[in-house]
Amino acid sequence: MSTRQKWVKTILLTGVLLFFLGCGHMAYLGMHGSSIKSYPDVHDSVEKEDTQCLECHHPDNAEGPVSPHPEFTGCINCHND
Protein backbone atom coordinates (compact mmCIF):
# COMPACT_ATOMS: atom_id res chain seq x y z
CA MET A 1 0.00 0.00 0.00
CA SER A 2 1.33 3.43 -0.78
CA THR A 3 1.68 5.97 1.96
CA ARG A 4 -1.05 7.99 0.40
CA GLN A 5 -3.50 5.09 0.41
CA LYS A 6 -2.71 4.46 4.04
CA TRP A 7 -3.53 8.04 4.87
CA VAL A 8 -6.82 7.93 3.05
CA LYS A 9 -7.75 4.76 4.90
CA THR A 10 -6.77 6.20 8.26
CA ILE A 11 -8.79 9.31 7.68
CA LEU A 12 -11.83 7.36 6.54
CA LEU A 13 -11.69 5.02 9.53
CA THR A 14 -11.33 7.92 11.91
CA GLY A 15 -14.38 9.54 10.37
CA VAL A 16 -16.47 6.40 10.74
CA LEU A 17 -15.33 5.95 14.32
CA LEU A 18 -16.16 9.51 15.28
CA PHE A 19 -19.53 9.15 13.63
CA PHE A 20 -20.46 6.19 15.79
CA LEU A 21 -19.06 7.69 18.96
CA GLY A 22 -21.15 10.75 18.30
CA CYS A 23 -24.34 8.77 17.85
CA GLY A 24 -25.28 8.86 21.49
CA HIS A 25 -25.39 12.60 21.29
CA MET A 26 -26.87 12.79 17.81
CA ALA A 27 -30.38 13.09 19.11
CA TYR A 28 -29.38 16.38 20.64
CA LEU A 29 -28.00 18.03 17.54
CA GLY A 30 -29.95 21.17 16.92
CA MET A 31 -32.23 20.35 19.80
CA HIS A 32 -32.81 22.59 22.73
CA GLY A 33 -33.76 21.37 26.12
CA SER A 34 -36.29 22.99 28.38
CA SER A 35 -35.28 26.41 29.60
CA ILE A 36 -34.08 27.39 33.03
CA LYS A 37 -36.20 30.48 32.47
CA SER A 38 -39.32 28.43 33.03
CA TYR A 39 -38.28 28.42 36.69
CA PRO A 40 -36.71 31.84 37.22
CA ASP A 41 -37.11 31.79 40.98
CA VAL A 42 -35.06 28.59 41.24
CA HIS A 43 -32.39 29.69 38.78
CA ASP A 44 -32.12 33.41 39.49
CA SER A 45 -29.00 33.14 41.60
CA VAL A 46 -27.31 30.56 39.37
CA GLU A 47 -24.10 31.72 37.73
CA LYS A 48 -24.63 29.55 34.66
CA GLU A 49 -21.65 27.31 35.41
CA ASP A 50 -21.94 23.62 34.60
CA THR A 51 -20.68 22.70 38.04
CA GLN A 52 -23.51 24.62 39.65
CA CYS A 53 -26.15 23.09 37.43
CA LEU A 54 -24.86 19.68 38.35
CA GLU A 55 -25.06 20.46 42.05
CA CYS A 56 -28.81 20.30 41.65
CA HIS A 57 -29.23 18.14 38.59
CA HIS A 58 -26.64 15.38 38.81
CA PRO A 59 -28.32 11.99 39.24
CA ASP A 60 -26.28 11.34 42.40
CA ASN A 61 -27.49 14.34 44.33
CA ALA A 62 -30.36 15.90 42.44
CA GLU A 63 -32.52 18.51 44.10
CA GLY A 64 -34.47 19.13 40.95
CA PRO A 65 -35.20 17.04 37.89
CA VAL A 66 -32.33 14.66 37.14
CA SER A 67 -30.23 15.41 34.08
CA PRO A 68 -30.23 12.56 31.57
CA HIS A 69 -26.75 13.65 30.50
CA PRO A 70 -24.60 14.85 33.40
CA GLU A 71 -21.48 14.30 31.26
CA PHE A 72 -22.46 17.12 28.90
CA THR A 73 -20.73 20.47 29.05
CA GLY A 74 -22.14 23.91 28.36
CA CYS A 75 -25.53 23.23 29.91
CA ILE A 76 -26.52 26.79 29.35
CA ASN A 77 -26.14 26.51 25.58
CA CYS A 78 -29.16 24.26 25.44
CA HIS A 79 -31.19 25.27 28.46
CA ASN A 80 -31.32 29.01 28.30
CA ASP A 81 -34.23 29.84 26.01
Give residues in contact with ligand HEC (CB under 6 A): 28, 31, 33-34, 36, 38-39, 42-43, 46, 48, 50, 52-57, 63-65, 67-70, 72, 74-79
Of 2 and 73, which CB lies nearer to ligand HEC in the complex structure? 73
Of 6 and 37, which CB lies nearer to ligand HEC in the complex structure? 37
Q: Which residue is nearest to ligand HEC (CB)?
A: 64
DSSP letters spanning 34-69: --GGGSHHHHTT----HHHHHHHHSTTS-SSSPPS-
Indicate the SS3 state at residue 27: coil
Nearest approach, Cβ of 70 to ligand HEC (angstroms)? Answer: 6
Of 2 and 38, which CB lies nearer to ligand HEC in the complex structure? 38
Distance in angstroms (rounded) separating the CA atoms of residues 40 and 79: 12
Write phi, then psi, for 19 (nearest 5 degrees).
-60, -45
